[in-house]
Chains A and B, each alone.
Chain A
Amino acid sequence: SQQGEEDPQALSIQEGENATMNCSYKTSINNLQWYRQNSGRGLVHLILIRSNEREKHSGRLRVTLDTSKKSSSLLITASRAADTASYFCATEQNTGNQFYFGTGTSLTVIP
């Protein structure tokens, strides 16, 4: 399978703490994206990082990409209860417009 894998599968933290999620993938990519999904809803795009970028910020989100290790991490700083959701990474392969999603990290932020 060309799917990415997120790690950990589940994460529980206290409000105000930072949350870090990791994503590993298998083949060369054009870009890597992170999405968020609230329970029972569709996915919402958070951030895109291109294969020639190493780090990107958006508000409380920080994404890194290490193409040599085929891995990415998503850091959410100063977490809030509203950040409770599942987070997915998705890779766009060099071969086309297809996206490959990981299995997700379920984040619970305890107030």
Chain B
Amino acid sequence: DVKVTQSSRYLVKRTGEKVFLECVQDMDHENMFWYRQDPGLGLRLIYFSYDVKMKEKGDIPEGYSVSREKKERFSLILESASTNQTSMYLCASSHPPFEQYFGPGTRLTVT
């Protein structure tokens, strides 16, 4: 079974802190994705990566950056967390053109 793991299920950070969210997949998938999910807005794509060291902006990249140094790991970085980044963050991976496999999510609260 494909497994996508995320470093934390729940995270509480203060405004202005630098936040790292880690995602690891074990199926050698080329593509990896970071989404945020907010009530009434569905899933919105922040960044995706189709290869090591490659990244593409999604719909809402502002305030975020990403890193993909190894194929299995895709990190989302909040350089200076703000309260409007309080959300559920979901990581996914896929081998195109097939379905995405999601991690369990990280619920981030910024106070």
Contact = CB atoms under 8 A, between A and B. Distances in A.
Interface in A30-54: 30-31, 33, 35, 40-45, 48
Q: How large, as a class, is the contact surface on chain B?
A: 20 to 34
* Chain A binding surface SS class: strand
A103 B58 CA distance: 17
Interface string B1-33: 000100000000000000000000000000101
Contacts, number: 58
Interface string A1-33: 101000000000000000000000000001101
Interface of A: 1, 3, 30-31, 33, 35, 40-45, 48, 88, 90, 92, 97-104
Interface of B: 4, 31, 33, 35, 40-45, 48, 50, 56, 58-59, 90, 92, 94, 96-105, 107
